[in-house]
A and B are shown apart, each in its own frame.
Chain A
Amino acid sequence: MTSPLLSLDRISLSYGDIDVLHDVSLDVMPGEFVSILGPSGAGKSTIFKLLTGAATARSGEIRFAGKQLAPTDRPFAFMPQRDALMPWRRIIDNTTLGLEVQGLPRKQARKRVEPLFQEFGLSGFEQHYPSALSGGMRQRAALLRTVVQDKPVLLLDEPFGALDALTRNQMQIWLEAMWLKHRWTIVLITHDVREAVMLSDRIHLLTPRPARVEQTIEVPLPRARFSHPGARAEAAIIETSILDFLLSPKIQQQEGQLP
């Protein structure tokens, strides 16, 4: 068995009096598509904040490739909830943002992203401003900006949450295809159970605040799931069992106690 690429070991964190994370432990294997699934306000995004350095844990340890995570030069490329495209930059210059921050001259950075526009369904839109793009295209541009940073792990924070249902489905199909081709290591935060089941190898299920990993669910369905006969039906069964768990009286009761 290979060792995990990334692991969180009994992480606890609180903002003032509010316990947000309580002994959260989870791991991510190299090349794995992992989802962190939990109710709204459970502290899912806080986990990403810990990873990107925007927050610090009270206790516990984060390890990357077996070593404790260094405070600078982190191995993550982060995609925030809304696309966070800069309206004053053309699409091509939005996608090179991470490379520019890394110190690559703009011209070289452009050269590096240009060949990827085709694959991301954005060719012809290099010189457009974000306001000219549809929601799905904006998300693809944001994902392109994330992957060209060439970091070992992609952190996607509810990337399709703001899209309409149809576009969201199209984006999920597209993302699975892209992942099958590139085999990025992906950590996806979502509260959409179907999205988690259709996309992930494993799902870490969080409880309401203070969040713990209640359960880790393997999703042993064949790929590509959206086109595979039978995969959808099986996915529906897993989805139902997760929903049953999330809606169970025990979890509901905890939710009722939230401040």
Chain B
Amino acid sequence: MRSRMFRDHALQALPALVAAGSLLLAWEIYCRFSGISETTLPAPSQVIQQAWLNREALWLNTVPTLRATLLGFSLSLVLAFLLSVLIDFSALMRRALFPIFIASQTLPLVAIAPLVVLWFGFGLLPKILLVALVTFFPMLVALAEGYASTEKEVEDLLASMGASRWRRFRLARLPSALPYFFAGLRISITYAVVAAIFAEYAGAARGLGIYMLNAKNNFRPDLVLAAVLVSSLLTLLLFSATWAVQRLAAPWIDGSSGRRI
């Protein structure tokens, strides 16, 4: 039973693996036969080899990035949740705050990252703040839309039972938002790693961002790509983690048709 399930999953992943494998193969063949310099475009085999040889340095630089990502993302989740509740209960707060939230999304990261580093130093704090800045808005929108998606009949039913506004929020609006919440989580977790790397790029002692910058300055595109590989794996890992959390926390989402996201 279990092995069969495993086989089914493996079969489903097959097309993706074949497609990715073909691209890598084409890249490898191009590098071998075009005579392009390896300081311009290294072959995938070389990237993987270098990644393995430099695994210790890569790992040392992955830990701070992962830490900044998770802390920043947690901060963003807490803020997004608190503010989403606030604007759900108060139309006035919604009108007052929403334009500011939207404006926060229009800030170009390229310009803002060095400034945040300038203001808050080379430590962990500016990274946390930048990750939070980038991921906060998608989470807030996901939650707000989720609350609004609550079936009117469910709220009417609760009202007919004499439930207060807060009770209706907790029993109907909050759980109704969960599918949207997890969709938002998957979108913003992919931004989170990128934002952390960007923040490190603007100035850090350690981290994948600064590792990439140093490798580039030393004319080692193979090491840049090795770090890119690590950051992609990191994002994929976090992305899959959101599915796992969803299955544990809200197993009903998979089963209810029309709500699948």
Contact = CB atoms under 8 A, between A and B. Distances in A.
Contacts of A130: 256
Interface residues of A, number: 26
B178 interface: yes
Interface in B126-153: 151, 153
A84 B157 contact: yes
A80 B156 contact: yes
Contacts of A33: none
Contact of A81 (B153, B162, B175, B256): B153
B38 to A, nearest CB: 54
A72 B162 contact: yes
Given A101-B167, A129-B255, A88 B161 contact: no
B160 interface: yes
Contacts of A101: 158, 161-163, 167, 171
A97 B252 contact: no
Of B156, B163, B255, most A-chain CB atoms within 10 Å: B156
A212 B107 CA distance: 60
Given A129-B252, A129-B255, A131-B257, A53 B159 contact: yes
Contact of A76 (B160, B175, B252, B255): B160
A119 interface: no
B172 A86 contact: yes
Nearest to B257: A131
Contacts of B250: 88
A88 B257 contact: no
B32 interface: no
A73 interface: yes
Interface of A: 52-54, 72-74, 76-78, 80-82, 84, 86-88, 97-98, 100-102, 129-132, 149
The list of the 8 closest CB pairs from A to B, nearest first, reads A52-B160, A78-B160, A87-B256, A84-B153, A101-B161, A131-B256, A80-B153, A131-B255
Interface in B240-261: 250-252, 255-257, 259
Given A86-B154, A129-B255, A131-B252, 5 more contacts: A72-B162, A73-B162, A100-B171, A101-B163, A101-B167
B159 A54 contact: yes
Contacts of B167: 101
A50 B167 CA distance: 21
A78 B178 contact: no
Contacts of B157: 78, 80, 84, 97
B159 A88 contact: no
Chief secondary structure at chain B's binding surface: helix
A206 B158 CA distance: 28
Nearest to B178: A88
A52 B159 contact: yes
Nearest to A87: B256
Contacts of A54: 156, 159-160
A73 B162 CA distance: 7
Interface of B: 151, 153-154, 156-163, 167, 171-172, 175, 178, 250-252, 255-257, 259
7 contacts: A52-B159, A52-B160, A54-B156, A74-B162, A78-B157, A87-B256, A88-B178
B250 to A, nearest CB: 7
Contact of A53 (B151, B160, B178): B160
Contacts of B251: 129
Nearest to A76: B160
B161 A86 contact: no
B202 to A, nearest CB: 42
Of B153, B161, B172, B259, most A-chain CB atoms within 10 Å: B161
Contacts of B160: 52-54, 74, 76-78
Given A101-B162, A132-B255, A149-B161, A86 B175 contact: yes
Contacts of A53: 159-160
A102 B158 CA distance: 11
A53 B160 CA distance: 7
B260 to A, nearest CB: 11
A48 to B, nearest CB: 8
Contacts of A72: 162
A149 B162 CA distance: 12
A53 B159 CA distance: 8
A98 B167 CA distance: 12
Contacts of A98: 161
A84 B156 CA distance: 9
Contacts of B178: 88
A159 B158 CA distance: 17
Nearest to B254: A131
Contacts of A97: 157-158, 161, 171
B161 A102 contact: yes
Contacts of B172: 86
B147 to A, nearest CB: 14
